[in-house]
Amino acid sequence: MVGPKIKTQKLLSRGSTLAEAGRLKEAANTFRKATKMDPTCTEAQFNLATILSETGHPNEAIGAWKKVIALSPDIVAAHRIFGETLLDYEIPKFEAGSVFKDTGPLNRAIADYRHAIETIPVLRTCHSNIGEIYLTKGKLEEAEKAFTDAAALPKHLEDAFSDVGATLNHPGNLKAAAAIYQEAIATAPDYEGDEISEASYLRTNLTFTEHEILLPDGFEVMMEWERPIMERSAEIITVNGGDVLNVGFGMAIIDTAIQQSSLDTHTIIEAHPQVVARAEEWAKDKKGVRIVPSRWQDALKRIGSFDGIYFDTLMPPMIPFMRETPKLLKPGGIFTFFQMMIQFENIEAMAQTGLRFALERMPFEEVSENRYYRLMEKDDQGRFTAPLLIYKKLQ
């Protein structure tokens, strides 16, 4: 027997087909049937409102758009709850005996946050369309309110949501989070242009200085100011001893720090040929080091499992590696990665792995001027904070 949800989806599909064919009256009737089949279906309400507006039924259209708004999540609450829930998982400093809380509440907050991100453009459109209709009808007060509600969901707000660093610092304050994102973009408007493909990066001639690694256009691959963060990350992933993996050799900062611990093996995956050459030279007098000169995607089947893993490569993809971490970690194993501007999609991907989570926020004093991170906020003591996202595979 076909359930209501499936019937609703079939009606949505048919309504869209009718609308594309210009059969708007039939499309409206079909979407109306879908709203009756599932009164909570915002897609059906939104599509119905659009058709009603186009066919000269503005009052009905406003009613349908208002139903979409009423059925949608509270964006401010989702932002606040997600930020506060993340902070519930913060620990002062990770140690071998640190307790990792159940991730159920976090996973629910992540799901609600994703729903909120996807809803933002829909709500913005609903408020704007309602405002346009009221404006046409000469109802200026109602139009002003609708446009004000739309302005509360500014352009790029969904991108600001994706910057979880802003969410951590301003949970529930959409205006502040959006302002931080916009300031970051203004700081380096050419940031998107700096992105290159993985294949192109591996063919790129890198420049190595005393304090950084640079692409030909000056884009920073790695910087000396990251050293304290890397050294702390090395302490985290070596807490179990045993076998440790680092993906991305860079300037040897974290691998040099890893060598300070008593380990059985220390594996390094590095794909860029210039960096591989430097890694092999560095490893000559180091203990237990194995260099794997390869893309990580090509290396995983031949490297075994580990007690600690660190990931920091310039080029994507990161999420596919994250999905592999449960298989790569031994029971009790620890995983973390370099993530100064915390991207929501990475937290979301890690939530799907089933690993336990803890957050450590490490203070440090300064960041040299660079385009890579664009902008970070200082705390009330005038320090920057590096968010260390720590994941553990249970026994």
pLDDT for the residue numbered 194: 47
Cα–Cα distance for residue pair 321/269, rounded to 1 Å: 13
First vs last Cα of the chain: how many Å apart? Answer: 43
Q: What is the CA radius of gyration of the chain?
A: 25
138: left (phi over 0), alpha (psi -120 to 50) or beta: left
SS3 call for 392? strand
Strand order in the sheet with 243-247: 289-293, 265-270, 243-247, 306-311, 329-337, 384-392, 356-364
| pTM summary value | 0.89
Q: Residue 347 in contact with residue 164, Cβ under 8 Å?
A: yes
pLDDT in tens, 75-129: 999 999 999 999 999 999 999 999 999 999 999 999 999 999 999 999 999 999 9
pLDDT in tens, 225-277: 788 889 999 999 999 999 999 999 988 999 999 999 999 999 999 989 999 99
- CB-based contacts of 331: which residues, under 8 Å, 6+ apart? 393, 394, 395
pLDDT for the residue numbered 388: 93
The CATH label, of 3.40.50.150, 3.40.1400.10, 3.20.20.120, 3.30.499.10, for the domain at 219-392 is 3.40.50.150
Cα–Cα distance for residue pair 124/152, rounded to 1 Å: 8
pLDDT for the residue numbered 225: 78
- CATH superfamily of this structure's domain 4-71: Tetratricopeptide repeat domain (1.25.40.10)
Q: How many CB atoms lie within 10 A of CB 27?
A: 24
pLDDT, averaged per 10 consecutive residues of the chain (395 residues), comes to: 83 97 97 95 96 96 97 96 96 94 96 97 97 97 98 90 88 90 70 62 78 72 82 97 96 95 97 92 95 94 95 82 97 91 91 96 73 63 84 92
Boundaries of every domain in the chain: 4-71, 75-187, 219-392
